[in-house]
Structures are given as structure tokens and as C-alpha cells.
Structure 1
């Protein structure tokens, strides 16, 4: 069997910036499976998995028969009940596309860590129209208060730790903990990673009031 094209590595990186690691991984796995079934999914994992550990985990899930993982949208909606605004740290298109229509009474803010005018970020925001606004690390504290919840996208939950996007480390701290209604972690990967979690960071469960 011939190797997958080298450009696929770069293509996945582009897709991950636009869709999120997990959403891009599930898209690539679906397309690989359509193209060549289990053999191509294994090849995708072998060639790209060490560079992109979320993709590695999604390939492993597919090969184990877990091909349509539940996103626990109902549980996340319940965890955010009562908040009038939600600040989202991290981005996953599949998960947020399913959740945001459920939050019709809340104002949604995506935390931006990109330079102003970044084309990828502008495209992400444009997909949600007026439903979502952007807030950055210099201005998010204007949203502080008992009416605002914080939702962070997680990638696998271990016994005492979770993996978070880099933005979480720049956002969260003891000074921030007391300023918001609640902190909810949403595990969009739903399984552990098998290779070193590049691009992500490990933090304790205690960062969050609830993990879904």
C-alpha cells in the first residue's frame, strides 16, 4: 500500500485551525474510511498520529468500533443553566455547532488568542453570525460576574487531570476563579490519548466546578 500524500499533514493542520483538533480528526477519519476502510484509517494513524495526538485517539476509537461518539450536549446545557452569558475557551466546530442552538437565552463569547484580523478566526466567527461575539485576554474580565459561566473544551479525562488548549493557561488563575459563575469542562474527545499530547496542557480537575 502506498503512503498517504505528504501534503496531508499540512492539510490536517489547516483543518484543525478552522474546525478544532477533534472535529478535524473525525472529518479526516470519516473520509479515510470512505476511501479505503480500516486499512486507510490505520495508515492515517501511523503517519499523522504522533504529530497530532487527538487524531491518533480518534483513529483508535474508530478502529475500536466507536464511530459516532456522543457529545453529551444535554449535560453541558444543564451545567450552563442559569447563566446569562457563556465564555468559551477553545474551539470545536462539531461540539459547538450542536450546543449553541440550545443556548438561545445566553450570549456566547469565544475567547480569542489570535492577532486582531486573523483570517481563520474571522471565518470562525462569521459562521455563527450575530449569535457569537469575540472577547480577548485583555477584555474578558469585563464579563465577570455571577451571570457569566466559562466553558472550556477538554481532550480526555484522566483520574485526576484533564488536557486543555493553551488558551486555558492564559485565561485561568486564582484571581479569575472567584470572578465567574462557574467553570465547566467539556470532554469532546471522550477517551484517553495514547501518544504525548502535543499542542495541549495537563491541568487538575479542580480547575473546573464540573466536568462533562
Structure 2
């Protein structure tokens, strides 16, 4: 018997034409009546439930669903057509249900989650992402099937990267392996690679060597040239 939205044990037992006590006897899951999920199958007689979870793909990966705004593990289990218990069995990441992000993928059945991580470009450059308002490393990582640790690792050489605790809106960052991106141009920049029109270098040219200040002036973090202590 398939559970429908709003069902409790009494309603399910009525459709099974058995007593509520028998329903609990045939379905021995702890706290069964309080954990029913719409779409899950329950036993109306003695025996085991038939296998009803989606089979893995030929390559051993699981079938997936993409998280949408407002989703919970319960709603995702329903979309997958499986029980909440099966959902947690197929998605074992600690803290998953409290950290779901729109765009993230979850497994609906047996198998490993497919590789959704962004791939480098044909020229060896990394997959570039511009930081948006309200972004965090946790959000960016989850949407792109990464970990925060991986995001930090990929951006060790990225210009303007200050770590996950200080993300700047508009900063170009790497979402995978490959050469780092050019930074976003700054309209009034006088020095460093943020000067508008600066072209991406070839080879191993250090971005810090681009557009140096004239004479003995120094370039500060605001891309301006000067000779006072503020520019050292």
C-alpha cells in the first residue's frame, strides 16, 4: 500500500482492511506512525516489502533529483518515490538534511552520486564563477558538488581570494582544477591585473607583475598607486 499525503496509521490501516495494531506489527520501523512519508510503501500483511527503489545506472551511479527552493529531505524522498528511511540510507552525508541548497543533487536509489563537479576548459583554465550577493563557500560548494575544503584548495592562486571568511561580490573564483581566472576589471584601477583591458597572460607570468606603478610608487589593495605608508 502506498502512503498518500495526510495519511496516518489509522487511514492506512483502513485502506489495508486491517487493524492499526496489525499495521504496526507488519511494519516494525521505530516510531512508524509518526514517520510516514507520502509515496512510501507499507506492508498490509506479514512479509517483506518488495524492492521498489530506483536501480543504479549502468556506470554504478545513482539516479538523482536536484534540490529546489524550500525542499526538505522529506519532500525529496517523496519526489524520489522512496521512504524517508531509504532516502537517508542512500544519502549518508552528515548534516545533509539541515544544509540542503537549491541546485544540489541527491541520490534517489543505490549507487554513488554522479560527478557533477565543474570541469576545466580545453585551454587548461579552471571553471570560473563570479561570487554573488549572499553567497558563501558552503552554498557555492554544495551547488557544484564540492566541499568547502576543495574550494579553498582550488583558489590558492586566485587573484583577490581572501578565503571563505571574506568573499567579495564579483570576485572570479575557480570551481575546479586549472589555471586561475583573470580578476574582474576595476573601473578606476591604476595598477595590478584589475586595470581594464588587461589581457590574460600566457605561460607562468605572475599576475602581481601586471601594470606596475611608475617610479617607486606602490600599488595598494584598492588598485591605486602612491608613495605614502598607505601604499606600502
What is the TM-score with the length of structure 2 in the denominator? 0.26
Is the radius of gyration larger for structure 1 or structure 2? 2
Greater RCO structure (CA 8 Å; 6+ sep):
1
More helix by share: 1
More strand by share: 1
